[in-house]
A = this chain, B = another copy of it.
Amino acid sequence: MRHLEGVPRVNVQTADLSSPSSPTLTLRRVGLQTYGEYVAFLSSACSAYKPESFANINKIEVRGPAGRTIVATINIVENGDLLDPFSLGLSSNAFHALKEPEGSQVMMNLARPPHSLDFVRQKIRGEVLRSSEISEIIGDIAAHRYSKAEITAFLVASAAFLTSDEVLALTKAMANAGTRISWNRPPCNFQVVMDKHCVGGIPGNRTSMIVVPIVAACGLPIPKTSSRAITSAAGTADTMEMLANVDVDLARMQDIVGAHKGCLVWGGHVNLSPADDVLISVERPLGIDTPEQMVASILSKKAAAGSTHLLIDIPIGPTAKVRSAREAARLRKLFQFVGHAMGIDVDVMMTDGTQPIGSGIGPVLEARDVMAILRNDPAAPRDLRERALQLAGAILEFDPALKGGDGLPLARKTLENGDALKAMLNIMHAQGPSPCPTPLGSHHKEICAVAGGIIRAIDCERIGRIARLAGAPVSKGAGIDLLKKVGDSVKAGEPLYRIHAAVDTDFMFATEMAHDAPGYEIR
């Protein structure tokens, strides 16, 4: 088969339309959100360039007067409403990347499709790619040279299989495609940098906000960058934002960690592994989620963040992301192989993922639980406290100066004597006040057991969905407060959890879904 056939090739490789005599078009910004893709708009009535020649071509190169170029997907605008025939429109992200004002005279080219698409086609055919080939693909993806369909092709072809060496090459390429933080210089001068990551899927599992202050209080650097929630009811960044500012740039983050050994900030300003962000924006809606892509995603971000020691938390449970010990074991091996080759000391902890952790689910409720634990409030959820202590203990044991087995007791002592709370308050103070302090959603309703019995299981996926339906994480005060956990006995009519919401319709949808099936198995 002539697999490499691609329609646009012919024109694309030679038809340089921006020779000195090429016509120019007037640059316009077109206010369309394109979710990461650079898009250019050309009127079908344009006479300077022939719009019909773009019918089977996707990409053009736009050149500004200063010589800067960007590659964008071209859309033809049918009539004069959006764009006159003498203008070239650019979506906001592409417009900003070109760095030219509206009204500039720009030229366009048919863009050569990225050469690395040949490697994607090789992968589609089932071939093993070389490290340099993967690196070229990732470079082009990070530079927004791939369309969504092309990214999908790479992801799906890779989902069929990736060798361990390909996963390693992918991880390295992704880590190298953006900012790489170095902690081994002022103001920090750290030789070791701790980090933790949970593969996710467990509502309420907000351990980072307890682990970071414990580890920092013990003197080990742990600069934590987190994402906002994508598929869950709250991310660490969303929850921390209820307590402090998380929009912190790299220089300020380094100052904070230099002074306090820890931070809990949103990773969005730091540009770590930007290719990963692009890949995730395509993976998530499609639900592509292989061990290989998970490992590359996580370790590329950690390598770029300069972490030297990393603890991975893999919760295992029938409604968690990882559903069997066998899957978790495979994932662990891959984390260790790639981590080792990247120079990161990776430890993997497999934890119980059979039900949500803690009580609160949603930013405000989770922040409440975290602070209760740090304050040693006896009413604070014990499972979240114990999980966080175990993880913190394992991280402390990365310290060669600590005797084996002393990690957990040291973590517990640091929490109980208030040092962890102090560290957390210092970090919060250094990051600045929350930009959006939010009360708990004022609509609330208790969801009750229909019949009595012992609680056998809680469905993590369903509880997460109900919390999202209630409005979390966009509506920070929305979520679920769990009143019963697995093993508890309930009577008929006794409340299982409370739904909080801030918006009428959210409240209605969430309570309806909870009434349909609350996500509890009681026998």
Contact = CB atoms under 8 A, between A and B. Distances in A.
B230 A56 contact: yes
Interface string A449-489: 00000000000010011001100001000000000000000
A439 to B, nearest CB: 20
Given A6-B284, A160-B160, A1 B289 contact: yes
A373 to B, nearest CB: 27
A323 interface: yes
A268 interface: no
A341 interface: no
B2 A52 contact: no
Contacts of A75: 32-34
Contact of A289 (B2, B322, B327): B2
Interface string A2-40: 111111111100110100000000000011111000000
Contacts of A15: 469, 505, 509
A31 B81 contact: yes
Contacts of A153: 152, 155-156, 286, 288
A148 interface: yes
A32 B82 contact: yes
Given A82-B31, A124-B159, A509-B14, A4 B469 contact: no
Contact of A30 (B6, B82, B124): B82
Given A31-B77, A289-B2, A11 B148 contact: no
Contact of A156 (B152, B282, B323): B152
A308 interface: no
A159 to B, nearest CB: 5
B6 A286 contact: yes
A290 interface: yes
Interface string A101-129: 00000000000000001001100111000
A414 interface: no
Nearest to A464: B10
A44 interface: yes
A124 B77 CA distance: 35
A461 B153 CA distance: 24
A290 B1 CA distance: 7
A474 B52 contact: yes
Contact of A117 (B56, B287, B468): B287
A469 B2 CA distance: 20
Given A44-B33, A52-B474, A3 B289 contact: yes
What's the number of copies of this chain in the assembled complex?
Answer: 2
Contacts of A147: 148
A460 to B, nearest CB: 9
Given A152-B152, A285-B56, A469-B10, A5 B231 contact: yes
A327 B327 CA distance: 38
Interface string A245-283: 000000000000000000000000000000000000010
Given A2-B461, A30-B82, A157-B156, A124 B288 contact: yes
A207 interface: no
A58 interface: yes
A201 interface: yes
Given A6-B284, A14-B469, A31-B78, A124 B156 contact: yes
A512 interface: yes
A321 interface: yes
Given A153-B152, A156-B152, A6 B321 contact: no
Contacts of A418: none
B10 A468 contact: yes
Residue of A10, A11, A78, A120 with most partner-chain B CB within 10 A: A10
Residue of A6, A34, A286, A474 with most partner-chain B CB within 10 A: A286
Interface string A137-154: 000000000011111110
B31 A121 contact: no
A175 interface: no
Interface in A350-383: none
A289 B160 contact: no
Contacts of A92: 78
A344 interface: no
A159 B159 CA distance: 12
A320 interface: yes
Interface string A484-522: 000000000000000000000100010011000000000
11 contacts: A1-B289, A2-B461, A5-B287, A6-B287, A8-B285, A11-B509, A32-B78, A52-B474, A82-B82, A117-B286, A157-B160
Which 6 pairs of residues, A with B, have the shortest CB-CB distance?
A31-B78, A156-B156, A31-B79, A152-B152, A6-B287, A10-B468
